[in-house]
Structure 1
Amino acid sequence: MIKIYHNPRCSKSRQGLAILEESNQEFDVVKYLEDKLTVADLEAIISKLSIKPLDLVRKNEAIWKSDYKGKTLSDKDIIEAMISHPKLIERPIVVNGKKATIGRPPESIKNII
């Protein structure tokens, strides 16, 4: 089952959702700002993306700049920051089985559906 980790207020996330709707495939929408992710959820997503946790962080968010930027953080620390502040998670993320992508640009979603 395809999942999109979606923020309805984000234009790229809405574009990613539209691509999934046009694909005529079944998918689940996870509004991760409302339904908070667990550490295990986020670790699984990061593993499927084959990236470091820092690569999933929205580094221009005010909370990142004020609380985390310039500090020495472990991968665990970064994951905990994203769990505590889900706005820090890059979006949209689409997971299809063992594959995942960050929908930036949204068209990259087509590569895994």
Structure 2
Amino acid sequence: MHTRSHDVKESSTHPEVRDMKHGYSAGDSSETLPGGRERGPREHFEEICADDNYEVASHHMNVRGDYTVVFRHKYGGKDQTFPNISREKIESCPSRIKSRILEK
């Protein structure tokens, strides 16, 4: 069973559905970081890499030489897709993620 909340944006009549089971969804830029920069996909990628409840569902190398990585939560929820992740970024991930993506 999934817990959902509906947040109605002021400029829209359609509710935004968020998956509250895991606390955040990739691409949500609702938090401002020090220096005024908004939280974006880069921070979500780092959080998901560090979270043992996420595993790599699939990945592939793009034409430009970077990767698209899809994470799946062990207990359900939406898959989290991150396009255009550099090899350097993947090499800085925990070994369980790095070995899965960079295996030959």
Normalised by the size of structure 2, how large is the TM-score?
Answer: 0.25
Q: Which protein has the bigger strand share?
A: 2
Structure number with higher relative contact order (C-alpha < 8 Å, ≥ 6 residues apart): 1
Structure with higher Rg: it is 2
